[in-house]
Amino acid sequence: MIEYIRGELTDITPAMAVIEAAGVGYALSISLNTFSAIQNKKEVKLFVHEVLMTGGRDDSYTLYGFSTKQERELYRQLITVSGVGANTARMILSSLTPAELCNVIVNGDERSLKSVKGIGLRTAQRIIVDLRDKLSGSGLVEQMPEGTAPTIDNHDKEVKNEAVGALTMLGFSPAPSAKVVTEIMKQHPGLPVEQVVKLALKQIK
């Protein structure tokens, strides 16, 4: 089992980071929160959750990377909930900061959970019922740092391409993703890429 990977950040998008360690490049799926935390760093350390999917035509092995142990623990708690898979959990952690998510669950805020793409009322209620007590007694709420303001300021074309690429990696079709991203950028010029993706997750169909 891989606990963490430390090395040079050689490539990064809002949905994936590549870290080179001991001559090996590891591609890790990340949330927007982790993207915000590591985007301007050269050397990084990501805590790892490994997912092995078997069955069907091909087996797949995916590494998920998190900037803090607390975010990884939240992810692991989320995927224990029936109906919440690996990518859905990552989408939740891309739509809400860890601190926001903890507060939403502990306070029983179904509306905020439903605002995450792909989360219906029943799943939102199940997340709250299953995790409220676990999070209340775990100390995660107190340990979670509030989200930090994004610091990047990319050219509009680069922001659009990165946002559409991230949405595609999250499972959305490129054409509708590009349409939504373009509209968001018209309404909010100069918005950093992770904020564009967060808004798109709430609007894309």
Least confident of 25-39, 75-89, 104-118: 104-118
66 close to 46: Cβ distance less than 8 angstroms: yes
Mean pLDDT of 58-82: 91
Q: What mean pLDDT do residues 140-146 have?
A: 52
Q: What is the mean pLDDT of residues 77-87?
A: 92
- Separation of alpha carbons 88 and 5, rounded Å: 23
- Torsion sign, CA atoms 169, 171, 174, 179: negative
Q: What is the pLDDT of residue 179?
A: 85
Residue 135 confidence (pLDDT) above 90: no
d(CA 190, CA 158): 12
The residue ranking higher by pLDDT, 107 or 20, is 20
Is beta strand 60-66 parallel, antiparallel or unpaired with respect to 43-53? Answer: antiparallel
> How far is residue 122 from each of residues 31, 74, 84, 101, 111, measured CA to CA in Å?
24, 20, 11, 17, 11
Band (pLDDT 50/70/90 cuts) for residue 5 is very high
pLDDT value for 177: 85
For strand 60-66 and strand 24-29, is the pairing parallel, antiparallel, or unpaired? parallel
AA identity, residue 92: I
Task: Report which listed range, 55-64, 90-99, 141-150, is most confident.
Answer: 90-99
Q: pLDDT tens across 39-55, in order?
A: 889 999 999 999 876 66
